[in-house]
Structure 1
Amino acid sequence: MNASEGAAKSSPELPALCAHDVLSNSDLFYVHFDERGCSVTLGFSRVHGSEGFEFFLRFPDVRDVHVRGWGAPGQKDVHVDRAPDGTVQVSASSDGSSLRFRAADATLSRTRDFLASSSS
């Protein structure tokens, strides 16, 4: 998949990378609130051996934002679900911190493969 796939179109289907098991087994390392577009971008990374993968999910027209504390980058319990009214509900939590909001949609805005250093 190249960096532009999934970024141009939005649809009722959430990007496959929004699956709970994918997000909760990835490190949430980036949270950006952009007041110009009233959006939130979340950045995740996964490393397996010496290969890494980074992806960014963008959520436009954000509302009902709640933030309580914030821990270091790492694995969080992350849920991205389509609500009956068509909005997207997002939550990310770990010990002592949480982030929740609603958005109009979710799009995959960017991906990147990288070489990861060994942990020896």
Structure 2
Amino acid sequence: MTASRHWPELRLLYGTAQPPDPGTCALFYVHIDERNTSVTFGFETPQLPPYPKPEWSAKPYNTLRFFVEFTDVTDFRMAGILAEAERSFRIAEDTSGFLDVAVVGDRREISFRAAASRVTQIRVELQGGV
């Protein structure tokens, strides 16, 4: 599954360039909402878009952050809770359209099935000095 196919908000910012692959981005945020059966991940990348939002030009930035919400989550499993620098992120779509999502590190894992995903927020930030 590619971000450009399922997340048009990123496709608009990157145009014909490939949007960042979540597997290559830092995963800095995880929110599990049992009431709404959703999981939200926050990713950040230094891969800046060629078509930034006009309001971003008001300040310097070198990092793009985007949040992806997965909805109607089932089969949720989690082992461990700490972040790991070395981990893999995987999204696969099955023939019925459901998404199989997994974040796997050496000793930690989050995995689940979701009916859909969407980008809920995109922002830019300045990391370190310029």
TM-score > 0.5 by shorter chain: yes
Share of identical aligned residues, percent?
30
- Give the letter aligned to residue 44 of structure 1: F
1:98 aligns with 2:109: yes
Q: Which amino acid aligns with 1:107?
A: R
Corresponding residue SS for 1:24 = helix
What residue is the counterpart of 2:30 in the other structure?
A: 31
Task: Give the conservation status (yes or no) of the 8 Å contact 1:33–1:41.
Answer: yes
1:79 corresponds to 2:90? yes
Alignment correspondent of 2:71: 60
Q: How many residues align?
A: 104
- Residues 51-90 of structure 1 deviation map (CA, whole Å, 9 limit, x = unaligned): 0010000011100001111332545200112111211110
Q: Which has more helix, going by share of residues?
A: 2
1:2-17 map, 5 Å: 13-15=5-7
Distance 1:108 1:39 in 2: 13
Which sections of structure 2, spanning at least 5 residues, go unmatched?
11-17, 48-60
Judge conservation of contact 2:86–2:106 (CA < 8 Å) in 1: no
- 1:106 is matched by which residue type in structure 2? S
State TM-score, norm by structure 2. 0.70
Of the structure 1 ranges 32-41 and 68-77, higher mean CA displacement relative to structure 2 is found in: 68-77
RMSD of aligned Cα (Å)? 2.3
The structure carrying a bigger strand percent of its residues is: 1
Looking at both structures, which has the greater relative contact order when contacts are Cα pairs under 8 Å and sequence separation is at least 6? 1
Distance 2:94 2:88 in 1: 18
Distance 1:78 1:35 in 2: 21
